[in-house]
Amino acid sequence: MTPKALAAITDANVIVGYNTYIKLIEKILAEKKVIGTAMMQEIERCKLAVQAAVNGENVAVISSGDSGIYGMAGLILELVMQQEKSLRPEVKIIPGISAVNASAAILGAPLMHDFAVLSLSDLLTPWELIKKRAELIAQGDFVVALYNPKSIKRVNQIQEIREIMLKYKAPTTPVGIVHSATREEEAAILSDLEHFTQEHIDMFSLVIIGNSKTYIEDQYMITPRGYQL
């Protein structure tokens, strides 16, 4: 969380968010009004947030990491734009630290060159389109960060992505896995493209797969930028 994000939460009198994320910050919510909903209820809670703002409340909608990266910023803006112009509340997008930034810092410097970010969740995006994007990322020799890599119900998709990557990347390509980045349960492990799916991976994990130049040295995952040393 950035200081600016903390200040926005402190200043707000209404907090809206996913129940799991609200629980992470409950110690700083004091006597604020809290609107929390479960997973798959994003539209409902964002509508409640917009309506509260239209009614004159100072509302903070919280997202894990950065609200503009797989968060609620886009949905909030879409809903606000559905309001009559005279009723639209002011929206400020407060930057946070996304899991991809936090995980990269924990692993070393794996994102020093061009990279792509891909979510493996097929709740809102067809799986065939996700696989197509993975194929193009692999062909382009991008470093890739995988969000939502594996869930209780979605266990085979990470294996399919691995097979796609192996068509274009060496089996020895470094892979870093970070679990619960910046939280108390934080853990990281270094592996390679051939073996990384044997490690513990869940929805609190972020996976970073290197490019053809990425290497591991002294437990740091490093992708060279190309400087002549």
How many CB atoms neighbour CB 54 within 10 A? Answer: 15
* DSSP structural state of residue 171: T
- pTM for the complete prediction? 0.94
- What was the pLDDT predicted at 30? 86
Residues 131, 218, single domain; the answer is yes
User: Rg of the Cα trace of the chain?
Assistant: 19
| CATH number, domain containing residue 52 | 3.40.1010.10
Q: Has residue 93 been placed in a domain? A: no
Q: How many domains does the chain have?
A: 2
Q: For residues 145 and 177, give the distance between their C-alpha atoms in angstroms, rounded to a whole number.
A: 10
Note whether residue 177 is domain-resident: yes
Residues 112 and 10 both lie in one domain: no
Claim to verify: residue 202 and residue 113 sit in the same structural domain = yes
In the predicted structure, residue 56 carries a pLDDT above the cut 90: yes
Q: Beta 115-119 vs 143-147: how paired, if at all?
A: parallel
pLDDT in tens, 205-227: 999 999 999 999 999 999 999 99
* Res 39: pLDDT: 86
* Each residue's pLDDT tens digit, 95-154: 999 999 999 999 999 999 999 999 999 999 999 999 999 999 999 999 999 999 999 999
Residues 6+ apart with CB under 8 A from 78: none
pLDDT tens track for 57-81: 999 999 889 999 999 999 999 999 9
Q: Domain with 107 in it: what CATH number?
A: 3.30.950.10
Give residue 109's pLDDT. 98
For residues 109 and 184, state if they share a domain. yes
Is residue 118 located within the same domain as residue 41? no
In a domain, 142, yes or no: yes
Q: What is the side-by-side strand order in the sheet with 174-179? A: 115-119, 143-147, 205-209, 174-179, 187-192
Q: What pLDDT score does 221 carry? A: 98
Per-residue pLDDT, averaged over 85-90, amounts to: 96
Please say if the pLDDT value at position 190 is more than 90.
yes
What is the residue range of 55's domain? 3-87
Is position 92 within any domain? Answer: no
User: pLDDT tens for residues 165-179?
Assistant: 999 999 999 999 999
**Residues 167 and 110 placed together within one structural domain of the fold:** yes
Q: Pick from 56, 87, 118: which residue ends a domain? A: 87
Cβ-contact 211, 98 below 8 angstroms: no
